[in-house]
Structure 1
């Protein structure tokens, strides 16, 4: 649980983030952060030209909301065919259960997303990636 706070109001800077070569994920809602049980989520920061490669979350749905920046989003359709779209601020992307997807920041500046996983937990698999590291809160 988040120390020194009630867990209801969480800023990304207040939690340890998952760091990768392509960006970072700060979980602001999760069982280990504030006791959320049915979903987890957080803020993803992608530098210009960066993104996360094609992957899926077996048994989980995902929502991706574009806060800022512009990019390309791929989501597989029900036949396994990639559906690619340009996305920008205000766009909500729904990723059905277990579907492959990827995001690329194609803009000149940073891209920020808010992601939600249901059920909670698939984000913990990111710890197994070879470029995973913890970025301490406040850095």
Structure 2
């Protein structure tokens, strides 16, 4: 194995989620996983949410997640504990194993969100 640079918008696996449900569409660029580069202990990528878009409530069973806002902002919703948290550019968020959460771009700008969870788990399907 060796160090690898992944060109996010050229080489990462592009996954468009939520196309069938209005307001749930987002562009996922999964750059780090076993399939892409042989990573066995983590999964990471970038998701872009246009204004008004969000993900469905989900968790990554058996995994902890961190998120980092590259640009834009969002309302992060901790569904499990019924809390809402404002995230802005340069903010990190830690999500414990099993906690259901939603990212909702309630701003006028695109949200670019870096995410990583370990150990690897399933990407949300909605």
TM-score range, shorter chain: 0.7 to 0.9
Give 1:11 deviation, angstroms: 1.8
Of residues 32, 35, 44, the one that matches 2:35 is 32
Moved over 4 A (4+): none
Q: Which residue of 2 aligns with 1:121?
A: 121
Query: Is the CA contact (8 Å cut-off) linking 1:51 and 1:104 kept in structure 2?
Result: yes
- Which runs of 5 or more residues in structure 1 are unaligned? 1-5, 130-139
1:89-115 deviation line (CA, Å, top 9, x unaligned): 011111100110000011112100000
Q: Does 1:106 align with 2:102?
A: no
Q: CA RMSD in A?
A: 1.6
Counterpart check, 1:64 vs 2:60:
no
Counterpart of 1:16?
13
Aligned to 2:55: 52
Residues 61 and 121 of structure 2 are in contact (CA less than 8 Å); yes or no, is this contact kept in structure 1?
no
Q: State which drifts further: 13-22 or 83-92.
A: 13-22
When the two structures are aligned, how many residues end up with a matched partner?
118
* Alpha-carbon distance in 2 for matches of 1:81, 1:29: 29
Q: Distance in 2 between matches of 1:101 and 1:75?
A: 5
Length-normalised TM-score, structure 2: 0.86
State the distance in 2 between where 1:121 and 1:101 align. Answer: 15
Q: CA deviation at 1:86?
A: 1.1
Alignment of 1:88-107 (within 5 A): 88-107=88-107
Stretches of structure 2 that go unaligned for 5 or more consecutive residues are: 20-24
TM-score by length of 1: 0.78
